[in-house]
Amino acid sequence: MIKTGIVREPRRVKALLLFTAGVFLSVFIILPMVTIFREALKAGVAGYLKSFVDPGVAFSIRLSLLTVLICVPVNTFFGVVLAWLVTKYEFPGKKLLITVVEVPFSVSPVIAGLLFIFLFGSFGWFGTWLTDHNIKIVFAVPGIVLATLFVSFPFVARELTPLMRELGKDDEEAALTLGASGLQIFWKVTLPNIKWGLLYGIILTNARAMGEFGAVSVVSGLVRGVTTTMPLYIDILYGEYMFKSAFAVASLLTFLAVVTIIVKAVLEYAIAVQRKSGEVQI
Amino acid sequence: MRFPFKLRNGKGKMPGFGLSMGLSLSYLSFLILIPISSLVVYAAKMPLKDYFGIILDERVVAAFKISFFSAIAAALVNFVFGFIIAWVLARYDFVGKRIVDACVDLPFAVPTAVAGISLATVFSANGLLGKILLPFGISLGYSTAGIVLALIFIGLPFVVRTVQPIIEESDAALEEAAASLGANWFQIFVKVIFPAVLPALVTGATMAFARGLGEYGSVIFISSNMPYVSEIVPLLIIKKLMQFDYLGASAIGVTMLIIAFIMMFVTNILQKYMLKGRQS
């Protein structure tokens, strides 16, 4: 942290800035978060717990977990491969490749869902073939998984690329001259170096995969008990004025979000320490 | 693990180039490139006249205007308050600072649907804030203003997280030099600090704006979603889909895609400019 020079803003200005920041954060961040738990617990703890008896809630939790269980490992694997590719080798078109990875963050989630409708929907590219073979992708679980894969893909690659670039290739090249194989180099040299960044990327992927709404709602068709993930079920409950249940499900996702930012803060600290020491061991 | 000497033959080829290239290209094609082409090809089948007929339809133009102006308004609010929050976090010490700092990331971590229902409730007539504002004749829930509120929430971390490191790194020596030349705090702020932070501030606000254009989940719960008044573009696309108007959906979808690519290009340039300023 930088301690500034001799001349600083007067105390009154400082107090005003602190006050403004406090009010703004309270209105836009703290109050909404408090509201979620306040609404969920309106009927007391017993009423809160009763919200989860609804089989629709149980189903939505299972479906969201299934989606995450598929998307997080797949996107972690390809994220690592991609980060490895763009940091270990020089090749033409590398910048373009990095730009393509950023696309899911730049397009609207609704467009993300729309893409898969046009690819796999009944009138899409593979529509007739899929209908002939009786395979359902859109308005079914595979569509949910695909849309979630799309929106949560960039996190791991995006966290790892700058980290691996900074760490350089020296360690890996040393291992190479000592006769290590590619896989050995990755497991024994690269992975220990990037583990915090990787974990960070995985946590963010997980949060996004659990919480994605726009993209998933386009491909889901809201078939109750088939394609209703937790965020989609919140939408249904809220639309049916079952606010207590909607906020009860929302409270689970909020809890996950809070855990995510805590882990994020801890990992950022760990990565900063690693950067400072310039060394591997933590 | 680190060797004290530089390896001469370290330039040997790292294995796995073909494998990682093959896997990456296949996955990116499967997940991103082919789906995008499917939408673009579908839309490209329609004559240009039809495309413009859809895009220049009154309701579509109104939706684009609403999306655009709400995103601009939210970005401007975040430009000001995001800067103040970044400043407070970078320069002041106070109890619970770590927690406040982490809270700024909540909009990144909280699912948009959750943000949507909670903001709608906070600002509704009997919500925590709506109740206070109602006697003043201000009602923000289920209105056009609601869209801006949701986009402020969504965009805030973009500005704070872009600007905060720049303020933290800002050159204390430069400020001291200005002070020794007799500048007061306000002059230092306007002539030394603000110009250094401005590129980051613009970059962050642009990112918030781009995100706001495409935002869906948080907006639809707090907006009244009325055509011509508070119907955003992503919602209009979904409505077209539900009416099986695939041509309409694809035309608006492709337009949004083009806008997204332009915004990507602009933020990329801004980021480069920002980094250049940081190094010099």
Domains in chain A with CATH codes? 1-40 (no CATH), 53-277 (1.10.3720.10)
pLDDT at A4: 46
- The answer to whether the beta carbons of residues A85 and B28 sit under 8 Å apart is no
Would you place residue B141 in the very low, low, confident or very high pLDDT band (cuts 50, 70, 90)? low
* B278 min Cα distance to partner chain A (Å): 16
Considering only the beta carbons, identify the residue of A25, A114, A260 that sits closest to B103: A25
> Most A CBs within 10 Å: which of B25, B76, B117, B238, as the mutation test of the A interface?
B117
| A89 vs B: CB within 8 A | yes
> Please, which residues 192-231 of chain B have a Cβ atom closer than 8 Å to chain A?
210, 213-217, 221
Residue B33 lies in a domain: no
Alpha-carbon gap, residue B122 to B116, rounded angstroms: 10
For B26-79, the pLDDT digits (tens) are: 999 999 999 999 999 999 999 999 999 999 999 999 999 999 999 999 999 999
Report the CATH number at residue B216.
1.10.3720.10
Alpha-carbon gap, residue B215 to B68, rounded angstroms: 11
pLDDT at B218: 94
Domain limits at B102? 48-279
Residue B172 lies in a domain: yes
- Selection from A110, A23, A3 nearest residue B167 by Cα: A3
Q: Mapped to the 3 state alphabet, what secondary structure does B116-156 carry?
A: HHHHHHHHCCCCCCHHHHHHHCCCCCCCHHHHHHHHHHHHH
Percentage of residues in chain B having pLDDT higher than 90: 66
Considering only the beta carbons, identify the residue of A4, A31, A119 that sits closest to B129: A31
How many structural domains compose chain B? 1
pLDDT at A278: 62
Residue B271 lies in a domain: yes
For A163-220, the pLDDT digits (tens) are: 999 888 888 888 888 888 888 888 988 999 899 999 999 999 999 999 999 999 999 8
Residue B144 lies in a domain: yes
> Most A CBs within 10 Å: which of B3, B7, B17, B20, as the mutation test of the A interface?
B20
Across chain B, mean pLDDT equals 89
Q: Report the amino acid identity of residue A204.
A: L
Phi first, then psi: give them for residue A122, nearest 5 degrees. Answer: -60, -30
Tell me the average pLDDT across B103-132.
90
Close Cβ partners of B217 (under 8 Å, ≥ 6 residues apart): A109, A213, A214, A217, A231, B111, B112, B113, B115, B116
**Total number of residues shown for chain A:** 282
In this prediction the ipTM stands at 0.90
| A177 vs B: CB within 8 A | yes
For A97-141, the pLDDT digits (tens) are: 999 999 999 999 999 999 999 999 878 788 888 888 888 888 889
